[in-house]
Every structure is written in structure tokens, then in C-alpha cells.
A and B are shown apart, each in its own frame.
Chain A
């Protein structure tokens, strides 16, 4: 995870005492063999623990195959090995459960104002939200909690969605367009909405989220299944290896004429050390933690499969606006109408924008100041009344009534068609020259804002796209990872080329219509590529459904959210980059721990083989390269190391292997060095240290 992205975490939810306590308890309940069998590696360890426990009791009764303290210690550490693995899984699940509990609070039964007919002033009856059916219509007024997922039919209101997004700033929901979806459990802060229910009870977004987070529906992902098969194969092989050692030992005793057969306890200890318990124990936790990392980035994935697929994505389709460029544009130039001086236009534009706190508005003030030396004037000095932007007029501006002077100035700025309507309504004319300028600017991909003062059109402000800072470096990273970035924009080719070059994307699709997106995705997929995209509008839904990784914005429409396999609660299109990283991290964590686990076997052989056969062939003690104190100490040290390494690696399993943008070959070299070579060396040191410690404490 890059440091920049971890700063954006909305849900840093650490491990509270409750989570720890709950995990400890659950690691015991997870001992149920019917649950354990899902994880073949750890199931074998549990079976080994049971057998050694039985052997321990036998030894306590005085007829053991080895001293009771030895069998008891091995057995104890084997149980701990299983518990550590269970604990890691419970811990990973714990965070999700805590979040699910918080969400469930928002979902409890609530009253709904059921309308008899979908009209604003029709009478309503208050019913419980649980009986709402798909197609029902209800009213939500200021202070109400929205009873169900639905689509706004009428009204506009600000809604607090913090229960879901964790974001306290309210959002606007209104009928029609791309902001018509509301989520059950959110709260209406002002005004009112008439909402049609779009889901059956229990199938709402919040319910699905709770399901996902709780992992109730967690199924093994394809890659996890494949890895599980390989780990099972290793386990079966090592069971064969250990089983065959008993006959081998018996034969060797006959051949050497001395020694005692290898004990079942030692064979089980060897088996548990050899089978890949490190990855087997942590595999489940890694998967859950991957999903959890998504959630902490405020992304809800509908399946683990989607997260895994994210790591494989090789094409990113990115909408220009909001992802590559800042959603807001900046003023770059004033073009006056014929016969109007540039300064007059700049002056009017600045006045109209003085109180405009939007980034566009501020950029106009700054441009006027920098280019024409017009200093921002004090709002109070000029006795201006500011008219904010409204959805009805689609204009903003200022009415200036200078004291003691005649002639007020009514200045407005807005989109060309809005201004044209405004001018024509008040009996003015919209000059053809302006029309041409507007078209010219549009053609270049910039946005024109027309400025008008007292029905006289003064000119046009150019608003240009600004490419996000640092995005170019990010795309370069993606390229290194083999991921191609494609910018999708409604702009014409000319503008698209300019922005594409500036942002450093690999390719772009200009003048894109929603169906073009779908076509492009299909084309890439036909070529064997995995495609990821983000979308929010209803017209994005088909493309979202087609993409392999589809991230819908939470602000988006219901249909977009349903077509996607992930929902970004922050509605931040750049999040796609983090999603890819999390997907890769998930696979890498599995890969590194598998390599580490298998590499560990070398040292464990060197610890246990000489110990197991030294009574038959004393010469084998030369293989005791770690110079471990005694056979018992050697075997115990290996078992203890094997158990403790699981605990030591829980943080890595939950956090994921640090992600770095580098080519596949570089990554492989790095990880093989750390986890492969390191995995061979580490247990030699670890086992020796445990042996020395036990010797120092006179435990063996």
C-alpha cells in the first residue's frame, strides 16, 4: 500500500480490546473439526494434536512411547499452532464484524411514511420499514431516516449518508438524473423526497454490505482454491513421507542392530513442521484482510473474486473528469465580444465571481487579478448583492447598486444556453459572434462561460481542464506494472489528445458515448485483457456490467451500483488505482507466505532427522548443523518455531505485503530474495535461538 493511499483511510478501525477478546474466544470455537476440514492443512495439524494428546495420556499412565513431558509439550504446541491459525482468521473477521454491528444499528426497523399514490401532497400512513415492498412509494422529510433503498421520484433534499460512507458532509439527492438513488439507513437533513422502493426487504444495499463485511457469504476465490489444492498436495506428500519413516526406521534398526523406532509423536511433529502450516494457517486471514482493506478504503466489493480480479487488471478505463482532471475547471482566458474591451469583460467577470466560492469562481477572480491587475474588491465596499448558482437558473452573478450613483449593474455568468435564454427572455439579443466564440472554445475542449451585464453580452470566459497533480507519475507506475490506462472523454479528439499527453495516459477514447465504452471493453476482453472501470450514471450500467472490475460511485444511480461489482463510498474515481494495488497485494501476500512456508522445511529437516534417528545411526548427528542441545530440544524447537512463526506473521497477513510498482521480474527477484532465501535462513536462526533459550531456562 502506498503511503499516500493509507492516509486516505476513512475507517482506520484498529484492533480494540473487544476484537481481541472475541477473536480469542472464536479461535476455540473454530476448533470444531467440521469447520477445520475446510482448511486441509490445519485439519491435519488438529488431527495430529488429538493423537499426541492421546499419546500424552497414555504416557501419563506410565506406558508412553516417550517421556510424558516431551509428548505433552509437543502436543501443547501443536494445539497452539491450530489456535494461532484460528486466531488469525478470527482477528481478520473481527474487524469486519465490528463494522457490521455499526451498520446494523442503521438498519433497525424504522417508520416509513407510505404514500397511497406517488404525489407530493397525498396522504400517508406510517408503517414499519420491514413491510415495504418493491414498488411502494414513501415520503421522507427532514429528520426522517430513509426506510429503504429507492429512487427519488420527486423532490430535492440534502441527505446525510455518513452511516454508510463515514463521510459527514451531506449530499444532494434529487429526482431524475444521476443523483436519484437513495440508500436505506441514511437521514434526510432538509426538504423532502418521494421515493419508490427498488429492493425487497432485506436485499438492500446496507444488508448486502453487512453480509459482505461479516463474511457470511465469503466463498473461496478462484486463486485461493488453486493454492489450496497445491497446499493439500504438499500435505499429502508429507503425510506419505512421514508415514514411510516408521517402516524405514524399523528396517534401519534391524540393519544397524541398535536404536529404538521413531516415535509417533516425533513423526507427527515432523509432519506438522513440514506441511505448509504458515500459509495454511494464514490463508483465510489473508483473504478476509484483503476485503477488509477494501472496506477501510471505503470500497465495498460484492465478492472476493472481484478483489482478486482487480490484481489482474491490465486495462484501466478512466473517465477524464474527476479521475484524470480535477472535476472543476480553471479560467484561463477572457474573450470579449466585438466592441467590448477585454478589461471590461475581466472586471465584470471578477465582480460576478467575487462571492463565488466554487473553484471555478475563484479561478476567475485570480485570472482577472493576475492578467489585468484587477484587485479583488471588498464585497461590502461595492454594495453588491450576490446571486448564487441555482439549479433552476443555472447562472450566478451579482447585482451592484452603487451608493449615490445611478444605474445598477446586474451581472450574470453561466452556460451559453442559460445566458441566451436569460438574455432573450428579458428582450435582449444574443450576438452571433458570441455564439461562434462559444463554439470555438467548446471545440477545443474547454468550457465557455458567457458573461452578461444588463442584457449586454460582454464576452466569454474559458474554463480549462486541469490535470490532477501527480497523476502522471501514477500512470507511469501502472505502466511499469503492465497496466494500460485509457482515458474516456466526451471531448473532441483535439482536446483529448492534449489532455492525454499531459496526463500521460496510454490511450484515449474521445467523443465517447456510453455505448462506445461498452464496445471498447468488449474489444479489450476479446483480446484477452481484463478491464476495470468506474462509472456512476445509469448509462454506465451496461459497461459496468461488462467490465471485469467495475467500481460504481456511491453517488451514482441505483442501476450503476447494481451493475458494478464494487461500490466506492467516497465516490472517488481515482480509487481504482488503490483497488488494483489491494488486489495485487492479496495475491502477493499468499505467494510470499507460501514460498516462505516451503523454504522453511529445509531447516526443519536438519533439526528433526538427526534427532529422530540418532539412536539408530549416531553418525547422523553430523546433520545436526545447528548443534541443537538434545533430540527432544531439537524437535520441540522446530515445533515451537513452526507455531510462533504463524503469530509473527499475522501482522503481515493482515496488512499485506508492501506494494511496490515494479515489473514482474523485479518483483519476483525481490520476493524470492526476502521470502525464499530468507525463508531458508530464518528458521535455522529461529530454531537455534529457541533451543538456546530452552537450554538456558533448563526446560529440556
Chain B
């Protein structure tokens, strides 16, 4: 590890933490429908939307009505994305004339973008028309992120309220999230990205002459290259801010038109975790105890920082099997050293490792380096961050509500340890809450393990794997871990655009998103109905270092412990074989 790399990592964390409070308190104002500096511009638009859609913003709904609204809205989005893909060859804005997308891939992509997973079994520039990219994918980038945040806000209200039947209005939270948070931030980031060289046009793909002619696999000489174009910047901004992660181009943020400079890389990385981190503050502010929010950020950082450094360390060590004559693993002023395979020269190891941990922990899924080419331990860290249940920052909204479920479990066991019926922020945690929390913690590991097991014993599953040995196992495990956790990043090394992976993955993404969202809403609905219990000396404080440590332990035990055998058979064995 170099001093330069370490400084860059800490600079990232520093700026992130600086941004948490301002953005967090701004979002608090937005969701509590207080005045903001954007009201003069957006207020009339907001009221117009309510009038046109017939939503009464003063009307509150209980958890079931909100869940139904969310499900219907997402289902509608899913249908639109599916249809646009199937029909794109008949629709405008298709300069490359790409054909309709196959039913299974359309299904997988529609689920993927509706569920904020943004797993891509396709290459953007070869599969999707500009219209599909904009109307289907970019729109879903916004809506799925707004859905996650709106769900979180409803759930926060459940915790903040007492003796209340309602949680708020999903439509209002969606609208305000879109207008006041996602659109302004995306606009600023998109403009910045354009300034760095990210493309934003409707031009047909450019054909340029190669400076140095090369040969293709059949041996014929190639002198020209096609360079893909399109309205990329507008999608990239929300892809990072909304923890979507679906690349406009196939190689995602490693592509120079998506992520051209170290500066664009820095701000895109910040954008990946920015809203998720700031929402922790919003949470604290909305439950009227900002310490609760900071405690959650602290718990997340306790898992995040060691992960970054473990991955950085593993990548700097590189692969000892490679002969020194072939690869110089020593770091110098002119040589990055370590394992540069699959990484971009303009980012280097520190920024690739930091990005990878950010994108896997935050359920973003965009990549600026190829995870398949990481060292086994580097890959293990990426897997582990997802196995924790995407609660270290996690997806916007969904990460924090996932973490709150872990908080409930931690509070429950801690409550027993101190001899008192557990309570969290004045709510008693009883059988119903544990039922919902149990449903939530068991569904992710079961989904991931089931589909991985299915894939490793079926020909359809095995034949798609391009690598042999434990690495092949890691690739399959990664594919379902990523989809089951709505992350969307790919290990690659596996050809996933086939009916088996498209359907299995699609189901895993549906379960990962909605099976978790609905019981969490139910949990919030139940908490909101409860009477307030004032805190006393016998109440366990949930903002202390001790509780933070306990919460981290619970996340590790419930999340990671279940995957220990699978990890042992994948990256761990691979590592042991490598250093043998």
C-alpha cells in the first residue's frame, strides 16, 4: 500500500462524512414537507403533479396501502421496461438499428432495473436503443431509487411515530424524492461529468481509424474501430447517485466515456455512497435523535474501512505465482505494482479497490475494474460485502432499512442480555416484530444459496461458466449473490445471457427486493401502532460504542457466517491454492 493510495482513501471518507449532515438535513426537510430553498422552483411543479395524478398529499396511508402502491407502481414500471425492450426495433431513436431483446433477457433486465439491482446480462451499446436507454433504463434508475428512499422514509416514520396507524403517503414521498433530491443532484453531477468528457448525444456510433492496425481472432487485419455514443451522462449521474450501477456501456464505469478521469472517478465514487450515508443522518433527524443516525454510520464504517484496506492490501500483493520476469509486482513511481489485471491505468489499485468496496457494499454494482480479475482475497471481500446483506450503506433507502432490521435483531438479543423486554426508540420489540425480522434475515441467504446450488448441479448452470476450478464456483456464487442482494455488479467470467441465468436471476432479484420490502413495511406499521415507552436507566442505549460493536457483530454473524462454507470452497481455496 502506498501513502498516496491511503491518503486518497481517507480523503474520500473525509469528504463523504462532511457531506452527510448538510445533505441529510436537507432530505429531512424534504420528507417532513418543510420549506427548502428549492420550493420557489419546484413547489408549483409538485402541486401540478399531485393535481394531475389525483393524489391528495395530506392523505396518509397505512403500511398495507403503501405496500400496495409501491408494488403496483413497480409492476407498472416493470411492464414498461419489458415492452420497450421487446418493441425497440419499431420505435424511434435507434440509430444503430438494434433489434428487439429476447423475452428472457427483457424479463431479467426489466426486473433488474425495477428492483434497483441493475444487473446486466447484456451489453448496453449492442443491445439497447437510445430510446430504451433513456425511457426505460434511465427512468427506472430514478424511479427504483426513489422507491427505495420512499420506502425507507415510510419505515423511518414507523419508528419515529407512536400510536399511529399510518406511515405517510408513498406517492408524496416518491414525488418529493424525485423532485427535490434525485433530479437536482443528478443534474449537477451529469453536467460535471460532461465537463470531464462523458458523452451526451444522440449521434450514431462513430467509426474511427486505428492508429495501429491489429488482427482479430480470425487473423484478418482490422484498421477501424466503432466507438459507441449516446445520452450517457444523464444516465451515469443517477446510476451512481441512486445506487443503480447499470452501465450505459458494457464495461460500465471502466469505459472512458462513462468515467473518463480520476476526478470523475472520485465524484462518481462519492455519488455511490453519498445518499445512502446521508440518509442515516436523515433517519437520526426524523426520529429526533441524530446520535442514532451517526451510530449507524459508525457501524457501517467499521465494516467498510477494513474491507477497503483488506482489498487494497490483497491487490497490492498481487499474484505470487506470476514470474517476476513477466510482471513486476514492486511499486515504484512508474509502476503501480500489485495486481493490475482488469484495472484501468487511470485509476490504479487504491481507487479500484475503494470503488469495488463502495459499489459492492452500497448495492450499486457499477464497476471501474473487472472483479473477476481481482486476487482471490480481493474477490472474497467483494463477495463478503454483499453477503452482509447490503447494509453497509447499501442501496439508497433499502440499505438503511435492511440495517434497521439488523438493529431490531441486535436490540432483541441485547434486551434479553440485560433482562428486559427489548425496546428500540420507545417501541417494544415483540413476537410480531421478530417474525418479520426473521423473515427478512433468512430470505437472502436462502435465495443466494438455493440458486447457487441449483446452478452448480445443472448443466445449464455449469455450462455458462468460463473458468474451471474454485474460481468458476466463485463466479456462480457471485452472480447470485449480486442478484439476490440487488447489487448488480458482475464478477463476469460467466455468460449469463441465457434463459437459465436470466430467469433464475430475475426471480432472485424479485425476491431480494420485494420479499424484503413488504415485511419491512409491515414491521414499520407494527412499530408505529405501538405505545411509546419512555427510556429509563434499564433501557439499553442504542447509540453507544458498545451497541455499535454489538450491531456489527450481529451483522457479521447473521450475514457472513452463513456463507463461510461457500466462501471456503470458492475464494478461500483459490487463495490457498495460489499461495501454495
Enumerate chain A interface residues (CB-CB to B < 8 A). Answer: 222-223, 225-227, 229-230, 232-233, 236-238, 240-241, 243-252, 255-256, 308, 311-312, 314, 479-484, 527-529, 583-588, 590-592, 594-595, 598-599, 601-602, 605, 609, 613, 617, 619-620, 622-623, 659, 663-665, 667-669, 671-672, 675-676
Q: Are B449 and A244 in contact (CB under 8 A)?
A: yes
From known contacts A233-B442, A587-B416, A591-B416, infer whether A663 and B537 are also in contact, taking CB-CB under 8 Å: yes
Enumerate chain B interface residues (CB-CB to A < 8 A). Answer: 409, 412-421, 426, 429-431, 433-435, 437-439, 441-442, 445-446, 449-450, 452-454, 456-457, 462, 468-470, 472-473, 531-534, 536-541, 544, 546-547, 550, 553, 557, 561-562, 564-566, 568-569, 572-573, 576-577, 580
From known contacts A240-B449, A251-B462, infer whether A664 and B420 are also in contact, taking CB-CB under 8 Å: yes
Residue from A225, A251, A620 within 8 A of B473 (CB atoms): A251
Give the residue among B409, B450, B540, B569 with the most A Cβ atoms within 10 A: B569
User: Which residues of A are found within 8 Å of B418, using beta-carbon distances?
Assistant: 588, 591, 664, 667-668, 671
Residue of B nearest to A599 (CB): B557
User: Which residues of A are found within 8 Å of B562, using beta-carbon distances?
Assistant: 237-238, 240-241
User: Which residues of A are found within 8 Å of B531, using beta-carbon distances?
Assistant: 528
CA of A240 to CA of B454 in the docked complex: distance in angstroms?
A: 12
Q: Say how far A475's CB is from chain B's closest CB, in angstroms.
A: 13
Q: Are B421 and A248 in contact (CB under 8 A)?
A: no
CA of A591 to CA of B550 in the docked complex: distance in angstroms?
A: 13
Q: Are B538 and A481 in contact (CB under 8 A)?
A: yes
Q: Are B449 and A482 in contact (CB under 8 A)?
A: no
Q: Say how far B112's CB is from chain A's closest CB, in angstroms.
A: 24
A-B contact pairs, 21 of them (CB 8 A): A226-B429, A227-B434, A230-B437, A230-B438, A237-B562, A240-B449, A255-B469, A255-B470, A255-B472, A588-B416, A591-B416, A591-B417, A602-B561, A617-B573, A617-B577, A623-B568, A663-B537, A664-B537, A668-B418, A671-B417, A671-B418
Residue of A nearest to B535 (CB): A482
Q: Are B473 and A248 in contact (CB under 8 A)?
A: yes
Q: Say how far A620's CB is from chain B's closest CB, in angstroms.
A: 6
From known contacts A255-B470, A584-B419, A588-B416, infer whether A482 and B538 are also in contact, taking CB-CB under 8 Å: yes
From known contacts A222-B430, A223-B421, A255-B473, infer whether A482 and B445 are also in contact, taking CB-CB under 8 Å: no
User: Which residues of A are found within 8 Å of B413, using beta-carbon distances?
Assistant: 230, 591, 594-595
Residue of B nearest to A246 (CB): B453
User: Which residues of A are found within 8 Å of B470, using beta-carbon distances?
Assistant: 252, 255-256, 617
Q: Say how far B568's CB is from chain A's closest CB, in angstroms.
A: 5
CA of A233 to CA of B437 in the docked complex: distance in angstroms?
A: 9
Q: Say how far B467's CB is from chain A's closest CB, in angstroms.
A: 9
CA of A248 to CA of B573 in the docked complex: distance in angstroms?
A: 13
Residue from B434, B449, B561 within 8 A of A226 (CB atoms): B434
Give the residue among B409, B419, B456, B472 with the most A Cβ atoms within 10 A: B419
Q: Are A226 and B446 in contact (CB under 8 A)?
A: no
Q: Are B446 and A240 in contact (CB under 8 A)?
A: yes
Q: Say how far A607's CB is from chain B's closest CB, in angstroms.
A: 12
User: Which residues of A are found within 8 Å of B431, using beta-carbon distances?
Assistant: 222, 225-226, 229
CA of A308 to CA of B416 in the docked complex: distance in angstroms?
A: 11
The 3 closest A-B pairs by CB, nearest first: A591-B416, A482-B538, A584-B419
For chains A and B in complex, what number of residue pairs have CB atoms within 8 angstroms? 203
Q: Are A587 and B449 in contact (CB under 8 A)?
A: no
Q: Are A255 and B468 in contact (CB under 8 A)?
A: yes
Q: Are B568 and A620 in contact (CB under 8 A)?
A: yes
From known contacts A226-B429, A227-B416, A591-B416, infer whether A665 and B439 are also in contact, taking CB-CB under 8 Å: no
Given A529-B533, A605-B565, output 6 extra A-B contacts at Cβ < 8 Å.
A529-B534, A587-B420, A590-B416, A664-B539, A665-B544, A672-B546
Q: Say how far A605's CB is from chain B's closest CB, in angstroms.
A: 5
Q: Are A588 and B429 in contact (CB under 8 A)?
A: no
Q: Are B576 and A619 in contact (CB under 8 A)?
A: yes
User: Which residues of B are found within 8 Å of A238, using beta-carbon distances?
Assistant: 562
CA of A343 to CA of B78 in the docked complex: distance in angstroms?
A: 101
Q: Say how far B546's CB is from chain A's closest CB, in angstroms.
A: 6
User: Which residues of A are found within 8 Å of B416, using beta-carbon distances?
Assistant: 223, 227, 587-588, 590-592, 594
User: Which residues of B are found within 8 Å of A585, using beta-carbon distances?
Assistant: 419
CA of A669 to CA of B553 in the docked complex: distance in angstroms?
A: 13
CA of A248 to CA of B455 in the docked complex: distance in angstroms?
A: 10
Q: Are A250 and B456 in contact (CB under 8 A)?
A: yes
Q: Are B473 and A591 in contact (CB under 8 A)?
A: no
Residue of B nearest to A621 (CB): B576
Q: Say how far A366's CB is from chain B's closest CB, in angstroms.
A: 41
User: Which residues of B are found within 8 Å of A247, using beta-carbon distances?
Assistant: 453-454, 456-457
User: Which residues of B are found within 8 Å of A529, using beta-carbon distances?
Assistant: 533-534
CA of A528 to CA of B433 in the docked complex: distance in angstroms?
A: 18
Q: Say how far A340's CB is from chain B's closest CB, in angstroms.
A: 54
Residue from B417, B550, B577 within 8 A of A667 (CB atoms): B417
Residue of A nearest to B423 (CB): A312
CA of A585 to CA of B453 in the docked complex: distance in angstroms?
A: 43
Residue of B nearest to A251 (CB): B456
CA of A675 to CA of B566 in the docked complex: distance in angstroms?
A: 27
Give the residue among A226, A252, A483, A527 with the most B Cβ atoms within 10 A: A226
User: Which residues of A are found within 8 Å of B561, using beta-carbon distances?
Assistant: 601-602, 605
Q: Are B419 and A237 in contact (CB under 8 A)?
A: no
Q: Say how far B474's CB is from chain A's closest CB, in angstroms.
A: 11
Q: Are A668 and B565 in contact (CB under 8 A)?
A: no
Give the residue among B433, B470, B472, B532 with the most A Cβ atoms within 10 A: B470
User: Which residues of A are found within 8 Å of B449, using beta-carbon distances?
Assistant: 240-241, 243-244
CA of A480 to CA of B538 in the docked complex: distance in angstroms?
A: 7
Q: Say how far B151's CB is from chain A's closest CB, in angstroms.
A: 22
Q: Say how far B148's CB is from chain A's closest CB, in angstroms.
A: 24
CA of A244 to CA of B568 in the docked complex: distance in angstroms?
A: 13
User: Which residues of A are found within 8 Å of B433, using beta-carbon distances?
Assistant: 226
Q: Are B419 and A587 in contact (CB under 8 A)?
A: yes
Residue of A nearest to B445 (CB): A237
Q: Say how far B181's CB is from chain A's closest CB, in angstroms.
A: 34
CA of A601 to CA of B553 in the docked complex: distance in angstroms?
A: 13
Q: Say how far B373's CB is from chain A's closest CB, in angstroms.
A: 19
User: Which residues of B are found within 8 Å of A528, using beta-carbon distances?
Assistant: 426, 531-534
Give the residue among A250, A312, A479 with the most B Cβ atoms within 10 A: A312
CA of A227 to CA of B419 in the docked complex: distance in angstroms?
A: 13
CA of A104 to CA of B429 in the docked complex: distance in angstroms?
A: 40
CA of A271 to CA of B426 in the docked complex: distance in angstroms?
A: 37
CA of A238 to CA of B577 in the docked complex: distance in angstroms?
A: 28
User: Which residues of B are found within 8 Å of A243, using beta-carbon distances?
Assistant: 449, 453
Q: Are B553 and A676 in contact (CB under 8 A)?
A: yes
CA of A590 to CA of B561 in the docked complex: distance in angstroms?
A: 22
Q: Are A483 and B538 in contact (CB under 8 A)?
A: yes
Residue from B434, B437, B445, B538 within 8 A of A664 (CB atoms): B538
Residue from A308, A586, A620, A668 within 8 A of B417 (CB atoms): A668
Residue from A250, A251, A312, A622 within 8 A of B420 (CB atoms): A312
CA of A233 to CA of B438 in the docked complex: distance in angstroms?
A: 5
CA of A222 to CA of B533 in the docked complex: distance in angstroms?
A: 17
From known contacts A529-B534, A592-B417, A594-B416, infer whether A233 and B441 are also in contact, taking CB-CB under 8 Å: yes
User: Which residues of B are found within 8 Å of A586, using beta-carbon distances?
Assistant: 419
Q: Are A665 and B426 in contact (CB under 8 A)?
A: no
Q: Say how far A67's CB is from chain B's closest CB, in angstroms.
A: 23
Residue of A nearest to B540 (CB): A664
From known contacts A236-B442, A247-B453, infer whether A252 and B569 are also in contact, taking CB-CB under 8 Å: yes
Q: Are A311 and B420 in contact (CB under 8 A)?
A: yes
CA of A496 to CA of B473 in the docked complex: distance in angstroms?
A: 75
User: Which residues of A are found within 8 Å of B472, using beta-carbon distances?
Assistant: 255
CA of A211 to CA of B564 in the docked complex: distance in angstroms?
A: 47
Residue of B nearest to A240 (CB): B446
Q: Say how far B86's CB is from chain A's closest CB, in angstroms.
A: 34
CA of A251 to CA of B474 in the docked complex: distance in angstroms?
A: 11
Q: Are A251 and B539 in contact (CB under 8 A)?
A: no
CA of A326 to CA of B564 in the docked complex: distance in angstroms?
A: 61
Q: Say how far B419's CB is from chain A's closest CB, in angstroms.
A: 3
Residue from A312, A484, A672 within 8 A of B550 (CB atoms): A672
Q: Are B557 and A248 in contact (CB under 8 A)?
A: no
